[in-house]
Structure formats: C-alpha cells, structure tokens
C-alpha cells in the first residue's frame, strides 16, 4: 500500500508540474504572438467581397452550415464524430449571443491564429486553427467582414459531447504545448502551399494523428481515423503519382477522379462549398503544389 501511495503521489506531482509548465509555456507563446498580431491588425480594414472568397478557400460554409438538417448559413451544429467524442461546429453568424456578432476583428484574428476565444478559452483543434494560424491578417480581417454581412441566426449550436478526459478543456494547455507551433510561418507568395496548408487545412484530415490528436510529421500521407471514422486517403506526390495537373484541377472543380468515379463523404462537401468556388488559377496552384517534390514527405 505504501508503494502504491508513493507512485500515486509521484504521478500527481509529475502531472501538476507538467500542467504548470504547459500553462506558462503556452501563456508566454500566446502573449508574444498576440502582440505581433495586434500590431499587424492596426490600420487594416476588411473587404466583405474578398472575405466571401476567403470563406471558400477555408471551407467555412461546409463546416459551419448543417445542410443535411436544413440549417441556416454559418449557423453551425454540424456533428463531427471522432475517437474523442462528437464535436459540433459553432454558430458564427453575427448574432450577438448565439454567434460571434460581438467579436471585434482583433478577437476574430486571435481565435483563428492562436486558438483562443475572447474570454480566453482554448479551442479544441477540431477547429483547425493550427492551419489557419499561417493565414495573412488581411485574409482574416476580410473574412470577418464577410461573416458580418451574413444573416443573423439566434439558435446556438449544441455543446460538444466528449468523453473524459478530453471533455476537460484545461487539458488543451498540454495539447497546445505539445503540438501547436506558435512560430509557424509561410511564404504567402507560394500560393499552392498557402492554400493547401493554410486556409484549405488539408493536412487536418489527410494526415495521421497520434493518440492525443497531434498531427504526424508525415503530412498528407493519409489518415485511417478521419472524421466520422472514415479513412482519408493520402495526397502526397507518391499517392498522386497517376494523376496529372489537369486531373487534379478537374477533381477540385467537379469531384471526378481519373477513373471516372465521383468522390463522396466529406470530400464532396469540400468540392461543392470550397474548391469548386475558387478560381482556376488557385485550383492550378493547388494541383501544382500537390504534384511537386515539396509535397513528398
């Protein structure tokens, strides 16, 4: 019994020390990144028309509109089944209580870039802020300007239904300390890379995850435990070796594969509400990136 108590106390001590380290590590990184972002936001105004295009780049409509249930645009409530429980996308209309109508552009940028809400809650990575964190501040401010034009919906989305210990939100401090790179940047002129690994957040579904939900270094190499338990194929250069740039462009536009089949599942929503709505130049940039040596982990 004494040995058991010793190891129990040791485990508790390690847990407390680990949580304290994660708290101060995350606090320091978020403080630094927040200051950088606030400095960038100053003087920037949003363009709602361009923001609607950014919404297509980021797949916002598919994730935040429960089309199958007749949901209103951006009203949330889309269920995402995962090994940790069910996540529900939030209402992001301009409603003051049920949505994000009271958020400032600054608060919106911080949510998208560091994964924290205006009241300093940490977001679960089911909201793919690790990818959105590399987006340009101008893109994010434009996106918020468009969201502010969408009709307000008063109904809040359901709360997440997660299993313990994943239901304990404070545990996200440890997740962020382990898996979120606050210093990650991207060359905004490398359009294909930006679209795939930034707003398009392709790696979030197409990459393996460990038991705690952290993304593998084998980016875009496939995921056997994707949303709703679906297996998600790899889209690295090796996986797409039989595809041409034209094949990929057509797939991103209408969802047809080189063999003549049409995609289904979540990818059909991505095609309908995201990649089919972006322009030909951006689809070409995505295709060229996916078939480049850069995309060969």
Task: Confirm whether pTM is higher than 0.75.
Answer: yes
Computed from CA positions of residues 136, 138, 144, 149, in that sequence, does the dihedral angle turn out positive or negative? negative
Do 197 and 210 reside in the same domain of the chain?
yes
Do 28 and 44 reside in the same domain of the chain?
yes
Domain annotation covers residue 13: no
> Of 152, 169, 185, which one is at a domain's C-terminal end?
185
Do 166 and 192 reside in the same domain of the chain?
no
- pLDDT for the residue numbered 33: 86
Do 132 and 65 reside in the same domain of the chain?
yes
> Of 132, 159, 185, which one is at a domain's C-terminal end?
185
Confidence of residue 274 (pLDDT cuts 50, 70, 90): very high
232 vs 160: which has the higher pLDDT = 160
Q: Which residues pair with 122 in a beta bridge?
A: 116
Longest pairwise C-alpha distance within the chain = 69
Q: By mean pLDDT, which of 119-128, 139-148, 257-266 is the weakest?
A: 257-266
Q: Are 232 and 292 in contact (CB under 8 A)?
A: no
Do 67 and 199 reside in the same domain of the chain?
no
Closest CA to 50 of 146, 194, 133: 146
pLDDT > 50? residue 118 = yes
Do 271 and 288 reside in the same domain of the chain?
yes
Q: Are 71 and 157 in contact (CB under 8 A)?
A: no
Kindly state the average pLDDT of the residues 169-173.
85
Strands of the chain, DSSP E = 79-82, 85-88, 161-162
Here the tokens at position 224 are 């056997």
CA–CA gap between residue 282 and residue 164 (Å, rounded): 41
CA–CA distances in Å: residue 179 to residues 83, 125, 130, 200, 216: 18, 10, 9, 19, 10
Confidence of residue 261 (pLDDT cuts 50, 70, 90): confident
Q: Which residues pair with 209 in a beta bridge?
A: 215
Give the other-Cβ count within 10 Å of 131's Cβ: 21
Do 146 and 87 reside in the same domain of the chain?
yes
Q: Are 232 and 206 in contact (CB under 8 A)?
A: yes
Q: What is the DSSP string of 42-64?
A: TT----HHHHHHHHHHHTHHHHH
Computed from CA positions of residues 205, 210, 214, 215, in that sequence, does the dihedral angle turn out positive or negative? negative
Confidence of residue 84 (pLDDT cuts 50, 70, 90): confident
Confidence of residue 123 (pLDDT cuts 50, 70, 90): very high
Q: How many separate domains does the chain show?
A: 2
Domain span at residue 70 reads 19-185
pLDDT > 60? residue 222 = yes
> Of 166, 185, 204, which one is at a domain's C-terminal end?
185
Residue 79 backbone dihedrals phi, psi, to 5 degrees: -80, 140
Domain annotation covers residue 1: no
Do 163 and 265 reside in the same domain of the chain?
no
CA–CA gap between residue 160 and residue 49 (Å, rounded): 32
């Amino acid at each position: 019994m004494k040995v058991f108590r010793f190891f129990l106390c040791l485990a508790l001590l390690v847990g407390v020390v680990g949580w304290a380290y994660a708290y101060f590590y995350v606090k320091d990184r978020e403080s630094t990144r927040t200051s950088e972002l606030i400095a960038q936001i100053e003087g920037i105004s949003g363009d709602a028309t361009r923001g609607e295009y950014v919404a297509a780049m980021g797949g916002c409509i598919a994730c935040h509109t429960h089309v199958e249930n007749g949901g209103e645009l951006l009203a949330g409530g889309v269920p995402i089944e995962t090994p940790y429980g069910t996540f529900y996308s939030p209402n992001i209309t301009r409603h003051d209580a049920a949505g994000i109508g009271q958020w400032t552009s600054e608060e919106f940028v911080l949510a998208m870039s560091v994964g924290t809400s205006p009241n300093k809650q940490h977001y679960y990575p089911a909201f793919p802020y690790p990818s959105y964190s590399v987006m340009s501040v101008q893109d994010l401010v434009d996106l918020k300007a468009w969201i502010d034009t969408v009709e307000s919906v008063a109904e809040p989305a359901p709360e997440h239904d997660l299993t313990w210990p994943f239901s304990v939100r404070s545990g996200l401090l440890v997740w962020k300390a382990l898996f979120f790179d606050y210093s990650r940047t991207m060359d905004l002129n490398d359009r294909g890379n930006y679209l795939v690994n930034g707003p398009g957040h392709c790696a979030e579904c197409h990459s393996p995850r460990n038991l705690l939900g952290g993304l593998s270094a084998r980016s875009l190499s496939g995921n056997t435990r994707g949303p709703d338990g679906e297996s998600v194929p790899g889209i690295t250069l090796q996986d797409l070796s039989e595809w041409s740039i034209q094949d990929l462009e057509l797939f991103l536009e209408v969802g047809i594969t080189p063999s003549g089949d049409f995609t289904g599942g979540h990818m059909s929503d991505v095609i309908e509400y995201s990649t089919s709505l972006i322009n030909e130049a951006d689809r070409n940039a995505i295709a060229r990136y996916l078939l480049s040596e850069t995309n060969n982990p």
